[in-house]
Structure 1
Amino acid sequence: MTDPRPHHYRFVHRVLPRQVLEFGPRVTTPAPDGGSLLPVLTGIWDDLGQSLPPEDRLPSRGLDCRHLATDDHTMLLVTLPAPVGATEAHFAAAVHPRGAKAVRYLTLEHALNPFDGSVGTVLGEWTTESHLNHGPGPSPVAELFVAAVAELTAPKKRRFWRR
């Protein structure tokens, strides 16, 4: 496993979360005309690349996005160029849970188990204050990531019980 590539890492862990958390729920809602945010994301990726030395720049090949909706949330799912280094991500999601004022930004990060060297994933989250590690993630398949995100961000049900 290699170190993360600067272009990939900065896009996933610095630039995209800042944009998602700044623009909030609007990011998770499709445009009325059905337009895609892919040109915007590609522009952000390319602009970031221009700020890096030529040897650190990566093509946007593999970058994609789509809006999803369930009863509990709206989401922008971002598919990233294939990760190579630790902490690079397979996917990122901007999630607006139903009834919430804020958007959450989650990632499915490429990981290496330090004990046995096996390759896996970590479910991460960026807030305005810090990075959270939600532990091992699913296999890097979009539907599995979406299900993990839905479970993590689902409104919590109040439970009442007697002692």
Structure 2
Amino acid sequence: MLVPQLAGRRPAAVRRELADPALARELLLYMWEKAAEGLPPAEHVPSRGLRLTWHEVAGRAVALLHLPAPQASTEAHFGALVYEPEEEDYPDEDEADDEDQEDDNDEAADDAPAVGLGAPGPADAAAADAPRPRYFLLEATLGRSSDEAGTPTAVGEWRGEHYRQLGRGPAAGRPDTAANFLKALAQVLGPLPGAGVPYMRIAR
């Protein structure tokens, strides 16, 4: 939940940091370590494999988070922040956003390191109304995969405090899992209105 909390509170700042490889690495490590706070040491998972790549999916910029291998069902193989073109906005965002609700993740966002996520400056204040990205996950699930060479998954989305599962995802543990997850996102997102962008087009 920390990723969508941070990206939702300061969307423009987070996007700028994720576009810089060094700052993106620092931010990802911060979020990974912050998410593990309060867990017994035996449950801490090393950050090996944690990285970020950028893609274009159905006309949108997508920051794909490559996560350490999940240790249990509902943990994620990948996360994806999907940014609409700047002139676009997100429907139902006000309904999903509860400004009065404070939790540990909100406090974590306020305490984030000085990589563009500390006290907001003039640029961040001017970008306060920037569209918020959508956040998708490719989660490990129980059961049998339709592909014998991989493990079963599900695609889910967080909108504010609201989660919804979107159905079965591509088999995990395969060289093409990331690409197939992006294809699944393209189907969910659909084409941009009037943009003439084929919704299955994925450019790395």
Q: TM-score, normalised by structure 2?
A: 0.60
Specify which of 107, 111, 117 is matched with residue 141 of structure 2. Answer: 111
Structure 1 stretches lacking a partner, 5+ long: 1-13, 159-163
Q: Please report the RMSD computed on the Cα atoms of aligned residues, expressed in angstroms.
A: 2.5
Q: How many correspondences in the alignment?
A: 142
Q: Distance in 1 between matches of 2:13 and 2:183?
A: 22
Percent identity (aligned): 31
What CA distance in whole angstroms lies between the structure 1 residues aligned with 2:178 and 2:48? Answer: 17
Distance change >3 Å, CA 148–CA 32, structure 1 → 2: closer
Superposed CA offset, 1:68-123 (max 9, x none): 2356101110011011211011100000123233310000000113xxx5541100
Q: Are 2:129 and 1:97 aligned?
A: no
Q: Structure 2 unaligned segments of length 5 or more: list them.
A: 90-130, 146-150, 195-204
The answer as to whether partners of 1:25 and 1:96 remain within 8 angstroms in 2 is no
How far apart in 2 are the matches of 1:157 and 1:82? 36
The residue type equivalent to 2:182 in the other structure is V
**TM-score when scaled to structure 1?**
0.74
Maintained 8 Å contact 1:28/1:75:
no
Hey, what's the Cα distance between the residues in 2 that align with 1:82 and 1:28?
Answer: 25
The CA distance in 1 between the partners of 2:41 and 2:18, in whole Å, is 34
Higher RCO structure, 1 or 2 (CA under 8 Å, sep 6+): 2
Question: Which residue pairs with 1:19 in the alignment?
Answer: 6
Contact 2:58–2:190 under 8 Å retained in 1: no
